[in-house]
């Protein structure tokens, strides 16, 4: 089945294949069919950041940016599902083509650029999902927000997703958002983390729960 599906998807452009696959996984999740396609994963519980994961293999952010298929991916046996990267306002991302196949390396090049429908849309999808497992929400800044004001975007997103996330990932690694990677060094990173930690303390008191923060940085 995988070989046939791969052959069919490779007849389409990479981004069309991506969108179609996401739609199909989401539809399978709504119908409760995805669990029939794979064996139940081995139980390998781990505790990280104070959270209990049923197994250590999760879905990374970037595949389901808008939370369109949360239940579908959960039914495939992932130990956690991380959605996003999300920004305060919707944005189209980089011009197409922006996703490229490297068949000889069984890999892709992703230059999509935080294309997403905005944090409010994502929260509506989270509210509609039945998944009760570990849910990470990955947050970033809008393309047109000056890097000097980037913390404002992260705080907006943190405020909105805090009550709905098991953990929140702060993405400062994307090479496709101008100036973003400058936030992962020195005083810029210290100030960003300090502001987020202060806001998290306020949100923890308000919501009565502590939500861990993870930081996504680029390998240098």
- Exactly one of 166, 173, 174, 188 is catalytic; which is it? 174
Does the annotation mark 174 as catalytic? yes
- Phi/psi at 184 (nearest 5 deg)? -95, 15
- DSSP state letter for 147: G
One-letter-per-residue 3-state SS of 35-104: HHHCCCCCCCCEEECCEEECCCCCECCCCCCCCCCHHHHHCCCCCCEEEEEECCCCECCCCCCCEEEEHH
CB-based contacts of 28, cutoff 8 Å, min separation 6 = 34, 37, 72, 75
In angstroms, the CA 85 to CA 63 distance is 9
Contact 36, 58 (CB under 8 A): no
Query: What are the structure tokens assigned to 166, written together?
Result: 């098991």
Q: How many CA atoms lie within 13 A of 3 on its CB side?
A: 0
User: Hey, which bits of 111-147 come out as E strands?
Assistant: 135-139
Outline where 83-185 has alpha helix (H): 119-128, 150-161
> Which tokens sit at 4?
């046939």
Which residues are known to be catalytic? Answer: 174
């Amino acid at each position: 089945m995988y070989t046939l599906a791969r052959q069919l998807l490779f007849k389409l452009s990479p981004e069309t294949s991506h969108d179609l696959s996401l739609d199909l996984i989401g539809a399978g999740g709504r119908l409760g069919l995805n669990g029939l396609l794979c064996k139940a994963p081995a139980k390998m519980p781990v505790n990280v950041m104070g959270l209990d994961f049923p197994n250590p293999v999760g879905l990374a952010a970037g595949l389901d940016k808008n939370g369109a298929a949360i239940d579908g991916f959960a039914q495939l046996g992932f130990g956690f599902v991380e959605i996003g990267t999300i920004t305060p306002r919707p944005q189209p991302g980089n011009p197409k083509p922006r996703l490229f196949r490297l068949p000889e390396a069984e890999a892709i090049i992703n230059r999509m650029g935080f294309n997403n429908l905005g944090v409010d849309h994502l929260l509506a999808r989270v509210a509609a999902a039945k998944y009760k497992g570990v849910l990470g929400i990955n947050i970033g800044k809008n393309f047109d927000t000056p890097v000097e004001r980037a913390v404002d975007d992260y705080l907006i997103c943190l405020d909105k997703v805090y009550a709905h996330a098991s953990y929140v990932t702060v993405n400062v690694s994307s090479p496709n958002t101008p100036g973003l990677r400058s936030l992962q060094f020195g005083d810029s990173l210290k100030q960003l983390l300090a502001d987020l930690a202060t806001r998290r303390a306020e949100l923890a008191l308000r919501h009565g729960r502590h939500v861990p923060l993870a930081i996504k940085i680029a390998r240098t």
